[in-house]
Structure 1
């Protein structure tokens, strides 16, 4: 009889442990699903297209910015020495081709930034140095 009770207790413990393992696995699967659904969607060309402006530091309420056009071209808004030419979207990375003009040493460059935030009204870009530029969608 004592042997049966010991065997029964061991079986109960083993059964309980297996159930906890299955519950943990199910909980982990549910957590993975929730995390995947919380991941922000990658920016789209359609959502990025438009005029994006920000105040000119020290000259508020004057604004500057960039117009991102649906055909892949881009243009500067109120920036007469920095001329944007075209753009490309790679995942969450925005590439902006530009050149300077009217300065002592003109330069051509490709700005590479990560789109940190993109909503219907806000665009936040982060460069490789961690500097963030915030824009508001213009009309």
Structure 2
């Protein structure tokens, strides 16, 4: 396994070095720098190698694979040397990889015809989170441009898409709340603050529906295309109700008590509605729909044309 990791790291490093490898040679100067491969399981953690002046090499994100030296031969082969640490023993290694291609900041390395591995050049100041930092819980924040521990600086939100999931995300706000960085399993996204016509703030990406962050009551919510994905209290107060219309249409509605929102699933399309005060029963609405109910009956009104759909709770 260590050997495989070594080849992966080396291959990534060499891919960048070889823009002209298919035609001829690359230079040591083209190969110098940080070469990293984003780990599939967590894009906040990277592994790779730093190729420095004078043939010095160091590992990025690999505690058991210590690069020490590197050299380029014939302008087409990268030799990496160092120590492999594991199972109570340390073994010296030297590995040779072919520089298959170098295109822009993408380096492709290979070993015979067995495999091809790509690495990318990590620019200075982009924030490398290596193995020791990752072990201490650090993650690189694109918004703050520094490494942070999200569980210390962020607000935790729990998955509601899967009631049995233990997955959580974190919201880290800029000091002036102009942006929020949403960290969730595998990656993160930076969202900008905007104001709705009713004056309430939301955070999203303009002309993009990937994620939307908002606050309802005391709950932080993260939704996408009308589907609630994360909430501060998760599903601890979730009430799921299946309704049947007069014509047989079935509509599922999830009520989140603490957040004061309801998620309606109608014909596979999700809509998030906010609760409002009523003289009796309950009411939830958004710019498209208005849901009014009492007991086991409810009425869904489409606001654009005023059409009404009578609903009754489905017998369990």
| Bin of the TM-score, shorter chain as denominator length | 0.5 to 0.7
Structure 1, unpaired ranges of 5+: 1-38
More helix, by proportion: 1
Aligned counterpart, 1:33: none
User: Matched residue of 2:30: which SS?
Assistant: helix
User: What do the CA deviations read for 1:90-138 (whole angstroms, capped 9, x no partner)?
Assistant: 1201000021124333221111100001133011110246222210000
Cα 1:105–1:129 change in 2 (3 A) is: farther
1:42-83 CA distance string (max 9 Å, x none): 010111111000012323331110001121110000111100
User: What is the aligned counterpart of 2:83 among 95, 99, 105?
Assistant: 99
Instruction: Show the counterpart of 2:122.
Output: 138
TM-score by length of 2: 0.30
> In the TM superposition, what whole-angstrom CA distance separates every residue of 1:25-45 from its partner, at most 9, and x where no partner exists?
xxxxxxxxxxxxxx6230101
The residue that corresponds to 2:60 in the other structure is 77
Q: Distance in 1 between matches of 2:24 and 2:59?
A: 27
Provide TM-score, normalisation by structure 1.
Answer: 0.66
Matched ranges for 1:45-84 at <5 A: 45-84=28-67
Q: Which has the higher contact order (CA 8 A, sep 6+)?
A: 1
Q: How does 1:1-139 map to 2 (within 5 A)?
A: 40-91=23-74, 92-128=76-112, 130-139=114-123
Give the whole-Å Cα distance in 1 for the aligned partners of 2:63 and 2:113: 25
Whose strand fraction is larger, Structure 1's or Structure 2's?
2
User: How many pairs does the alignment contain?
Assistant: 101
CA distance in 2: counterparts of 1:103 and 1:96, whole angstroms: 22
Deviates more, 1:48-57 or 1:98-107: 98-107
Distance in 1 between residues matched to 2:113 and 2:51, nearest whole Å: 23
Name the SS of the counterpart of 1:101 in structure 2.
strand
For structure 2, the 5+ residue unaligned runs are: 1-21, 124-316
